[in-house]
Amino acid sequence: MNKNRNEENEIKLLIVKIKNRLALLESYFWDVFVETAYYDEPNPVDEEKDDKETYLFHGTKELYYWICLFLELRNLSAYLNLFISKFNPYIDDKKKVIESRNPLYQDSEPSMIILDDFRNFLSAFSEFSGFDKVPTDKLYNVLIATNGILDKTNVQPDGETIIYKTVHWFLAHIYPKSKLLNRAKFFDLFTHYIPDILIPEIASAVEYKYIRKGKNIANLHISVYSGPPVSVMLGQSYR
């Protein structure tokens, strides 16, 4: 009985390690390949960029072996064989391991292919059900409260620029690494990204669209590059 209990504890610790490592690697991918793509010229965003890129490869290899161990401890031999046959042929190929792809759908973010595949594979097991990417609940709460933020700061917007600058000031208290990207652009790989605010902590970006409907009516459409968009009706007092 003690052996079974110890093994179960080992599996629980391994599950936590797998979740944490996957989230860390996804964050590093954003830091190394997505955030730096926003700048027209070299920008010292992260002095640890080279180390993070190296870790993306070695950390992913280690994650691969952790997942293999999880499947072995769970006696899931068929899944283990399937996992090994899919990923073992190129797990030692750095170029292949850190390969990325375009956003798969509108308002999604670029991603590292093998990490997406790991996540999809793990989603079949109850231990990893509901295991999403870094949560964006706080971000959405702020975006939904755009009206209130403008009110408290006495801002009367006539376009999206003053709005996203004001909201960024607020977001920076929650996500200190967030930044305005008024000079932003992506490489050709990410051509349809035109964000206003970058938030590396949650691997996300935000784009505001101010849509005037009439003299006293305006809608604010907010695209979030990690989830569904937000729509806000601006109060009449802000016209």
Q: Is 49 helix (H, G, I), strand (E, B) or coil?
A: helix
Q: Scanning the structure block, which residue is given the tokens 């590292």?
A: 112
In the prediction, which pLDDT does 66 show? 95
* DSSP one-letter code for 90: G
Q: Is 218 helix (H, G, I), strand (E, B) or coil?
A: strand
In the prediction, which pLDDT does 90 show? 94
pTM beyond 0.75, yes or no: no
In the prediction, which pLDDT does 225 show? 61
In the prediction, which pLDDT does 194 show? 62
Q: Which of 155, 176, 115, 127 is nearest to 237 (CA)?
A: 155
Amino acid 216 reads N
What are the 10-residue block averages of pLDDT along the chain, 239 residues in total? Answer: 76 90 83 59 57 90 96 94 95 92 54 90 84 65 80 80 84 79 44 66 74 61 60 45
**Per the structure block, which two tokens stand in for 74?**
């769970």
In the prediction, which pLDDT does 188 show? 38
Q: CA of 111: how far to CAs of 10, 117, 173, 209, in Å?
A: 30, 10, 27, 25
How far is 141 from 130, CA to CA, in rounded Å? 20
What is the Cα Rg of the chain in Å? 21
